[in-house]
Structure 1
Amino acid sequence: MSEAPHGAPIKTPGQLIAAVIAGFAIPVIVIALLAYYVDNSTRTGAGTDELSDAAVAQRIAPIAQLNLRAANAPHVYKTGEQVYQAVCSACHAAGAAGAPKFGNSGDWGPRISQGFDTLWHNALNGKNAMPPRGGTSPDDYSDYEIGLAVAYMANHGGAQFQDPPKPAAGAQGASAAAGASGTATAAAASGADASAAGAQAAAAMAALASAPQAATPAAGATQSADASQAGKALYQQVCQACHAAGVLNAPKFGDKEAWAPRLKDPMDVVYNYALHGKGAMPPKGGSNASDADVKAAVDYMVSAAK
């Protein structure tokens, strides 16, 4: 059986012309696309500054920075607006957790009628969902700077308060020392509970031996007085930043309904969440407290929710 002869793929002059054009055009298009890709890719050689001394120094710079200043240098206070933006705006900008909204005269009117001294005292010692000093410590912002922030917010709500008197030279160091020892006179004036609520965060752990016990231990638990005081101090220093107002879905302090689903688990499970973190809560609330103190803080909050 004979095989059929093979036919040529190009049979007409038109097909020949098309083949010749394709033979030249396709390689030219491929070369043009490759050149375009190479020209638009990220280059780290000549013609860029990514290997310059400044760029390299910026990439390898350490994260932590140390700023030194003379111990006797005059203290530079933050303005009321700066303190508001850094601390207070988290709640007051939107009126979260019942905070009077910034610039809302209706919210601020009843507060303004109480007078500046009362508002300043509440800001320093905390009230309702607002933690003392907005959750900061005297090392972060002085009483004077907190007062500036109070006047700044109140004046934008319709008040005409004067800024508090600026501390005399050297008073800042004395104020910090008083804060470290936990002897704030404003807190003492409001009684035992307000005093504990207004204990300065930086001195909370140093004042464990004298901190009052304000909660009854959970049923079936055997808390020593020292453990109860340590739990309360750690709560005031760390935990209340979220649990006082229920921030980020944290069960609010004293809210039985919010705590009920958590307390269905054994206490060992609840302790494990506090020690190792859960959801938005970092391990140990982001502190360096001991495991025993963290468990004591959990017991303190649980006892308040029963």
Structure 2
Amino acid sequence: MKSSKRILGCLAILGLVTTTAYAQEDEDRAAIAERLAPVGELCVQGEDCGTAAAANSGTQTASAEGPDGAGIYNSVCMACHETGAAGAPVRGNEDAWSSRTEQGFATLLDHAINGYNAMPARGGNPNLSDEEMHAAVAYLVEPVMDVPAAAGTEDAEASGDSTATTDTSSDDAASEASATESATAGIDGEAIYNGICMACHDTGAAGAPKKGDAAAWGPRLDKGIETLYDHAINGFNAMPAKGGNPSLSDDEVKAAVDHLVSSVE
């Protein structure tokens, strides 16, 4: 009888030790899995991704001071912009960003909101607002360029000299427009349009806005002529860079764009 009790006691102790060992092993596996979890997911144009984080975007990124650009970047953008995946320029790499920052912050923000090359619109998270995108892009590019305030911020901080600031901006815009007109003077934009652009913009192929269609061009003109120039020169969605003719100069492309939009201005 005493032997039986000893055997039962040993079996009970062995069972307890085995259970504890398995529990510790499960904890170790969970810890390893957490350490190996990816910091983000690669999302490219055309994929349905980023929506998993959408439910949390409002609570994680909002604060009394506005959207948390760093938080949005870390949850949506860093998978590509920390690694260079899909050709994305790495944050803080001035050489990679130099040609992009020359286009201006407004163009970079437009690309982030609407998508550009392999980068999906809003980083693949359609629930992000324009204000949140501004904050994320600002955080991304702040190491390599001066970032303007978000829309509305300057109005809230402006005082009695706001009119003077507006007048200066208008003068700058007029100077840029004058410089562009000088550069494209003498270039037959209509001929370039007829030779390259009309195949899509006269027919609406691939979703291209038709020449003369004011309703289709309205939201595009709101982005400004410089953004339209950039899209035509560098490509946008289904439209190839320089209409598929890389031998065209930037000024020739601008002349063609001028002819195209003149039908709705």
Query: For the superposition of Structure 1 and Structure 2, which TM-score range results when normalised by the shorter chain?
Result: 0.3 to 0.5
TM-score (norm 1): 0.34
Task: Return the structure number with greater relative CO, CA threshold 8 A, min gap 6.
Answer: 2
If you compute each CA radius of gyration, which structure gives the higher value, 1 or 2?
Answer: 1
Q: Larger % of helix: which?
A: 2
